[in-house]
Amino acid sequence: MRILSFLIFINVVFAFLGGDYKEVIRLKQKEVEVVIYSKDGKIKSGGNEIRVEVKPPKEIKEFYFYMPPMPGMNEMRDVAKLEKKGEGVYEGFVNISMDGPWEIRIMFADGTKITRNVFIPLSKETAKETKPMEHSGHIMIPPEKLQLLGVITEPVKKRFLVRRFYTVGYVDYNREKVYDITVRADAWVEKTYGRFEGEYVKKGTPLMKVLSPDIEIAKREYKLAKKIGDEKLIKEALRKLRYLKAGSVVRSPVDGVILQKQVYEGGYLKEGQTAYRIADLSTAWIVAEVPLHFSSYIRKGLKAFVSPEGDSTQFQATVDYIFPEVNKLSRTLKVRLKLKNENLTFKPNALVNVSFEVPIGEVIAVPESAVVDTGRRRFVFVEMEKGMYMPVQVKLGRRGEGYYEVIHGLKEGQRVVVKGTFLLDAEAQIKGLYGKQMQMHHHH
């Protein structure tokens, strides 16, 4: 009986001293050391029986594993249920929800605390691991190697994006400002002043001198009415002269170029016949050929910039009209722009370069360099902490100015890798992390 009692006593003491537990990790902060044990020397997802020793002894107020919020997941807090077994010695149970990056947080009654970032599953060996490794959807790189590998991150934030795309076009006359020069009575053309097609004329420039029998008769009727002094006849004669636009010299109504000249000296003009056609060039039309895959961005009033061929100077224009048909050979949509044509910079029929600007608005965005396209899905690497990276699937929207609009998968303030992604991508592919990450997100 004495021997049996002694053996029971030895087992109790051995258990108390941790003989039934294996060390998992040591946490040190200033003068406090915490050693965590478990039955099998590991802390993994699911239930874990643990033992905690605090040196020098301190009263533990809170002990839990914390995982910060991630895309598609809220924060998690798995609290350890501990029972005090002696001075600075605790035993209990903790249930870990899932594998991944966690932070051990231990708060003491005197207000001090110890924290440590770890990966679950955790063991004494992995706690000391320093080389790059993967733990359930994550990649870890030692901080001292980050600069060597050229890994750079930046925060996700809102940006005002503008979508730009480029095409070509040509200059056309503003058909709204083309003028036909006619006479309102049959007339003989006495002089054309040397005018010719393609000539640029100023407003008031004489185009032709005509002699019209009807106009001469109207003038005589007016003189006779004034001589008689009949007010009614005078008004009627004036009305007729105004209608006929009585005058022997016909002048240009605008600054413009003569598109057509259909009269010659000694010729005869019928009432309403076009003598000259003049185009006002103070504004110009630009007809741009927009590739069909950009057509959804085009709308009336959209801002664009036009540059003459061989010149980088840009002139602002706006979309004035969208033609209803698509060119079946070039697969382009004709779009008409209107712009001011000061100094006659844009000559009709000349080729031009056109760039369109489509405001996307203020959206959460990431640089194009941050996106890894696997062919079926798109990922970015989120920095959980310095040296810890998780591939996160994202849904992207429009692209502009070197950035992608993020529709789903990221939150403002998260840090993403913008340089060095190809190294993390290679590691992720070797470890098969993209598939694991998808399964994890689907499960949660």
The mean-pLDDT minimum among 137-146, 267-276, 281-290 falls in 137-146
What average pLDDT does this structure show over 438-443?
46
**Per-residue confidence (pLDDT) for residue 24, from 0 to 100:** 93
Alpha-carbon span 369 to 292, nearest angstrom: 27
**Per-residue confidence (pLDDT) for residue 6, from 0 to 100:** 46
Alpha-carbon span 392 to 428, nearest angstrom: 11
Residue 118 β-bridge partners:
102
pLDDT (tens digit, 9 = 90+) per residue, 295-322? 888 999 998 999 998 888 899 999 999 9
**Per-residue confidence (pLDDT) for residue 358, from 0 to 100:** 83
Q: How confident is the model at residue 199 (pLDDT cuts 50, 70, 90)?
A: very high
Name the residue with tokens 């036009």: 306
What average pLDDT does this structure show over 167-176?
91
Phi-psi region of 163 (alpha: psi -120 to 50; beta: other; left: phi over 0): beta
**Per-residue confidence (pLDDT) for residue 354, from 0 to 100:** 94
pTM (predicted TM-score): 0.51
How many other C-beta atoms are found inside a 10 Å radius of the C-beta of residue 136? 17
pLDDT at 366 over 70: yes
**Per-residue confidence (pLDDT) for residue 304, from 0 to 100:** 92
**Per-residue confidence (pLDDT) for residue 397, from 0 to 100:** 86
Task: State the DSSP string of 106-167.
Answer: EEETTS-EEEEEEEESEEHHHHT--S-EE-SS-EE--HHHHHHHT-EEEE-EEEEEEEEEEE
Q: At what angle do helices 213-228 and 231-244 cross, to 10 degrees?
A: 160
The mean-pLDDT minimum among 68-82, 160-174, 193-207, 358-372 falls in 68-82
**Structural domains of the chain ordered from first start:** 12-129 (2.60.40), 152-157+363-443 (2.40.420.20), 165-172+282-361 (2.40.30.170), 180-279 (2.40.50.100)
pLDDT at 10 over 60: no
What average pLDDT does this structure show over 148-174?
88
The mean-pLDDT minimum among 3-7, 55-59, 410-414 falls in 3-7
Alpha-carbon span 12 to 36, nearest angstrom: 20
Please tell me which residue, 3 or 311, carries the higher pLDDT value: 311
pLDDT (tens digit, 9 = 90+) per residue, 55-112? 999 999 999 998 876 544 567 899 999 999 999 999 999 999 877 778 899 999 998 8
The mean-pLDDT minimum among 117-131, 331-345, 408-422 falls in 117-131
**Per-residue confidence (pLDDT) for residue 94, from 0 to 100:** 95
Nearest alpha-carbon partner for 65 in 100, 110, 23, 20: 100
pLDDT at 444 over 80: no
pLDDT (tens digit, 9 = 90+) per residue, 272-293? 889 999 999 889 999 999 999 8
Q: How confident is the model at residue 7 (pLDDT cuts 50, 70, 90)?
A: very low
**Per-residue confidence (pLDDT) for residue 129, from 0 to 100:** 41
CA dihedral of residues 217, 219, 223, 229 (deg, nearest 10) = 90
Task: State the DSSP string of 302-319.
Answer: -EEEEEETT----EEEEE
